[in-house]
Structure 1
Amino acid sequence: MGKKGVRIGLVGYQFMGKAHSHAYRDIPFFFETDANPILQAICGRNEDAVSQAADQMGFASYETDWRVLIERDDIDVIDIVTPNNTHAEIAIAAANAGKHVITEKPLAMTVEEGERMHEAVSRNGVIHMVCHNYRFVPAIQYAKKLIDDGRIGKIYHFRANYLQDFIMSPDFPLIWRLNKDVCGSGALGDLAAHSLDVARFLVGEIAEVSATTETFIKERPTGAMTGGLSAKVEGGEKGQVTVDDAVAIIAKFESGSMGTFEATRFAGGNRNRNQFEINGEKGSLRWNMEDMNKLELYVADDEVGMQGFRTIDVTEESHPYMDSYWAAGHMIGYEHTFIHLLHEFLQGVVHGKQPTPNFSDGLKNQVVLAAIEESARSGRRLSVAEFRDTVKKA
């Protein structure tokens, strides 16, 4: 049986567009897969820029209107890597057109949007996924195996922080990531959303939250992104920052475990320090994205005098996904997390099997994000389930 062609329509072409395009191109190179991703069309509003992106990334064609892209009968998948305020409209239209859908995180701007997105993909029977790529770091997948195998026993604590510093200068411009109408929230939806998803993946669902947020620089010069996390000032005007710069969260999991989360774009010297530590009755685990191939493990019943964290080099063929790459000790990088995620997505498309994290996971994460925002606003500790019931009745 030969590979099945899956024709990709990508909406967006900047930072995440490059990451997704690269992954589609590399999946058949590294993995024994039943899917052959075909880069059929890429979409963006700026015709010159999207035309150049199509040539650079290897797409056969381009569109300047995502509605036209969705109407095309030579597209199987709509991949959404646009700002957050566009996710719902594009995803729902794609699902209604019978297209499989994957979108960048967070799933939506609000719980209500997330509910409509989930209903649309469910009603139309399409495969769907949310791009929480950090789940697909081999070291995190291996941590999941160790937890499921009972190696660290009952979990007492999950603590995570996601630290960046790219907007610390007051001269950094007011980009879309700092506009609530476009992104929904700041460090919360951009950074903490990843940590919360990893926590749900490793420990389980979150039952209660208490949070505080802060916006340190409340006014900035207007400007626009120029690729990656770089930006330029445009014009001489200034505008209001309408999202959080930092968030701190105390959480309780349904299992009884305690969670603490911090996310900030004001941690000088930290470019992308996404890390967590998990403490259980039999041991502990630690991981840091800035050294993503390493997983630290402490085992409580080690011999006295030899106890402490050991470092596991997660590059052996026995580790998740690593048998598709290089010899042990040869590192992989950030881009490979997207290869793994999109490989699982395409396998789901070909075989009609729903992968995770999907829109159901994205919606659960959206409820937690909304509960955190409300907790920070009101100063109250909130039950996530009771908060969701309140949202549904509103």
Structure 2
Amino acid sequence: MPDQTYRILMNGVTGRMGYRQHLLRSILALRDDGGIPLPNGTRLQVEPVLLGRNPDKLARLADQHQIADWSTDLDTALAEDPAPIYFDSQVTSERKKAILKAAAAGKHVFTEKPIAETVAEGQELVDAAEKSGIINGVVHDKLYLPGLMKLKRLVDSGYFGRILSVRGEFGYWVFEGDYLPAQRPSWNYRAEDGGGMVLDMFCHWNYVLENLFGAVEAVTAKAVTHIPERWDEQGERYDATADDAAYAIFELAGGIIAQVNSSWAVRVERKELVEFQVDGTDGSAVAGLFNCRIQPRESTPMPVWNPDLPTTEDFRGQWREIPDNQAFGNGFRAQWEQYLLDVHAGRPHRYDFAAGVRGLELVDAGLQSSREGRRVTLR
């Protein structure tokens, strides 16, 4: 039997994340590795088609990576290109209308998050996908990180006993753009363009918490704009209208309490840019992007509080690293492979638009909590 090739309309891959993770390290890597092996001995091949607004950037990327087709005309591509899959990594404010067009054209859709700017808009996408019968998926990349995969193994094995709490620290210092160029796009800090820490990261935290520990049932949050002015890619000053930090307490099913700090205005004093500490009756773990350290009950030390003497214990040295006892690939590519196999088999993708809407529900609850200064329940 011959190999099967899936053309994929990829919209927004001239941006940093779309290019590096989705085009370069996922689809082009799959193409160059000969596709995904199938049980019958054939392979599922991929062929990207680039979409975007800047013809110069598209032409340059296509030439650099030997990509045959690109276009700035989304409507024509959806109507005339035989590609069965549409992928979206545009700015958030442009996403909903493009996905609605793709669904109406009968394209299967895989998209970055947040899938829309509001819960109502997200539900529009769910309804459109159901009406069109398309296989839809939302990027849940952090579930495929080596550190969190190790953490998931610990949860599934019962290592923690009864899980009590989760504490997450995420973020780093994003330069304002005057002293040094900012390392994130300026639209991230303008609410009118779909920017904001809560909209960006609470969607992530929802699926991480939901899939590892339990559904979020209530939230108490405070969203702030620590840096009120920034400078854009052209060196022009602008008002930062979006929140650049959020501090939240999430109450999970089963009585687990999760505290997560997210900030683009924090200097890192931890091993990785994101870390989650999980404490249970039988043991604890600290997981980051790649690493996971554990301290079981039987090797837990007994510190004694004494403010009169300096601490001599090396607390970090008392944790044990979980080894890389399996091969971990790029997390974005791993989910792409799963999604493509779901499309090939005609089955629903586990992380669908409805999962994306649950993330937006947490965004709404977090913003409401911050605005009204109170605890907000979700379920």
TM bin, normalised by shorter chain, reads: 0.7 to 0.9
Structure index of larger Rg: 2
Is the 8 Å Cα contact of residues 212 and 375 (structure 1) preserved in structure 2?
yes
Q: For 1:27 and 1:39, locate their aligned partners in 2 and report how far apart those are by CA, in whole Å.
A: 9
Q: For 1:3 and 1:155, locate their aligned partners in 2 and report how far apart those are by CA, in whole Å.
A: 46
TM-score, normalised by the number of residues in structure 2: 0.86
Aligned in 2, Cα 1:62/1:255: closer, same or farther, shift over 3 Å? same
Q: For 1:38 and 1:357, locate their aligned partners in 2 and report how far apart those are by CA, in whole Å.
A: 21
Q: Tell me the percent identity.
A: 24
Q: Please report how far the alpha carbon of residue 31 of structure 1 lies from its aligned counterpart in structure 2 after TM superposition.
A: 7.3
Letter aligned with residue 190 of structure 1: D
- What is aligned with 1:256? 255
Q: For 1:71 and 1:302, locate their aligned partners in 2 and report how far apart those are by CA, in whole Å.
A: 62
Which of these residues, 282, 295, 298, is aligned with residue 298 of structure 1?
295
Q: Please report how far the alpha carbon of residue 192 of structure 1 lies from its aligned counterpart in structure 2 after TM superposition.
A: 4.2
Letter aligned with residue 359 of structure 2: N
Is the 8 Å Cα contact of residues 295 and 312 (structure 1) preserved in structure 2?
yes
- What is aligned with 1:15? 16
- What is aligned with 1:76? 84
Q: Tell me, which stretches of 5 or more residues in structure 2 are unaligned?
A: 303-316
User: 1:101-112 maps to which residues of 2 (within 5 A)?
Assistant: 101-112=109-120
Is the 8 Å Cα contact of residues 41 and 69 (structure 1) preserved in structure 2?
no
Q: For 2:60 and 2:269, locate their aligned partners in 1 and report how far apart those are by CA, in whole Å.
A: 32
Is the 8 Å Cα contact of residues 283 and 300 (structure 1) preserved in structure 2?
yes
Matched, 1:164 2:172: yes
Aligned in 2, Cα 1:219/1:368: closer, same or farther, shift over 3 Å? same
Is the 8 Å Cα contact of residues 8 and 37 (structure 1) preserved in structure 2?
no
Aligned in 2, Cα 1:164/1:69: closer, same or farther, shift over 3 Å? farther
Which of these residues, 201, 204, 211, is aligned with residue 214 of structure 2?
204
Q: Please report how far the alpha carbon of residue 151 of structure 1 lies from its aligned counterpart in structure 2 after TM superposition.
A: 1.8
Is the 8 Å Cα contact of residues 3 and 45 (structure 2) preserved in structure 1?
no
Letter aligned with residue 219 of structure 1: E
Q: Tell me, which stretches of 5 or more residues in structure 1 are unaligned?
A: 225-231, 326-331, 386-394
- What is aligned with 1:215? 225
Which of these residues, 232, 235, 246, is aligned with residue 233 of structure 1?
235
Q: Please report how far the alpha carbon of residue 11 of structure 1 lies from its aligned counterpart in structure 2 after TM superposition.
A: 0.2
Aligned in 2, Cα 1:156/1:170: closer, same or farther, shift over 3 Å? farther
Q: Please report how far the alpha carbon of residue 146 of structure 1 lies from its aligned counterpart in structure 2 after TM superposition.
A: 2.2
User: 1:1-394 maps to which residues of 2 (within 5 A)?
Assistant: 1-12=1-12, 13-18=14-19, 19-22=21-24, 23-27=26-30, 29=33, 32-34=36-38, 36-168=44-176, 175-183=186-194, 185-221=195-231, 223-224=232-233, 232-234=234-236, 238-269=237-268, 273-289=273-289, 292=290, 294-301=291-298, 308-314=318-324, 316=325, 319=326, 322=327, 336-385=330-379
Two-structure CA RMSD over aligned residues (Å): 2.5
Q: Please report how far the alpha carbon of residue 282 of structure 1 lies from its aligned counterpart in structure 2 after TM superposition.
A: 1.7
Is the 8 Å Cα contact of residues 33 and 347 (structure 1) preserved in structure 2?
no
* Secondary structure of the structure 1 residue equivalent to 2:294: strand
* Secondary structure of the structure 2 residue equivalent to 1:188: helix
- What is aligned with 1:227? none
Aligned in 2, Cα 1:298/1:3: closer, same or farther, shift over 3 Å? farther
Aligned in 2, Cα 1:303/1:381: closer, same or farther, shift over 3 Å? closer
Equivalenced residue count is 353
Letter aligned with residue 149 of structure 2: Q
* Secondary structure of the structure 1 residue equivalent to 2:277: strand
